[in-house]
Amino acid sequence: MSMQTAGLDIGSRSIELVVVDASTRQILFSREAETTPDMAGLCRRMIDEAPCDRIVVTGYGRSLAEVSFGLPTVTEIKAYACGAYAVFPGCRTVLDIGGQDIKAIALDSSGRTVNFEMNDRCAAGTGRFLEMIASALGYPLSELGTGALSGKGGVQISNMCAVFAESEVIGLLTKGARREDIALAVHRTIANRAASMLARIDAAAPFVFAGGGARNRCLARLIGEALKCELLVPSHPHMLGALGAALIAIAGLGIAD
């Protein structure tokens, strides 16, 4: 029986687990769950469901696994870079919009990280930010992007602070602005912010869009327009961190590429 490795991505909003065959690098099993207050218990149950020879942990809560289970960890930057390059060989940039932060990662021709920038001290543009905006506009989060795609121009959002942006959105609603137009304005502001982050790291195409935010079709379209190119979006963009961690774990088994 071939050896197996796993990657566990402990995020602020969800936890993902991916198990790969160490020889073929093929995904054998994956699972995701919403983050709960009992993060350690949830992680333990997920790990127990997928026995493996080695596991590496990444994500917002990776220190929890290091302390609670003594597992090795890797940064989200390294995990997402590895996962993205595995799915899209030759990619040069990764944009990850997650629950609590945004990461822009520049890669060299062999997939190594050469520069990065993180927006981890402000919720602007993150999944949490979009949750607040969706609630203010009366959308389920899963429908916010679709609503924005039917919006028209003319509305502008001047503040990207999560608290003030929510107040601005409510103010626009009271003035009679359509919620679709407001949603589009919010998405356009996030897209421009992401493009600015990418410019600061001298990002180059091909671009991979990852994280939960990449499931938002409006964001993917607008960021692509801002960059003047089409983004590469994996079928399960929020799983790239866990996949990258699982692939990094292979090195601990002494198996050569």
User: What three-state secondary structure class fits 60?
Assistant: coil
Helix (H) or strand (E) holding 5, with range, is strand 4-10
pTM to 2 decimal places: 0.91
pLDDT single digits (tens) 116-153: 999 866 777 788 889 999 999 999 999 999 999 999 98
Q: Is the dihedral of CA 21, 25, 31, 37 positive or negative?
A: positive
CATH 3.30.365.10 fits 90-233, yes or no: no
**DSSP code at position 114:** E
pLDDT single digits (tens) 158-200: 777 766 788 888 999 999 999 999 999 999 989 998 999 999 9
pLDDT single digits (tens) 46-61: 999 888 999 999 998 9
CATH 3.30.420.40 fits 1-88+236-257, yes or no: yes
Same CATH topology for 1-88+236-257 and 90-233? yes
Rounded (10°) angle between helices 39-49 and 62-69:
80
pLDDT single digits (tens) 23-48: 999 999 999 999 999 999 999 999 99
Q: Where are the domains of the chain?
A: 1-88+236-257, 90-233
Percent of the chain's residues with pLDDT above 90:
77
With contact defined as beta carbons under 8 Å apart, do 211 and 118 qualify? no
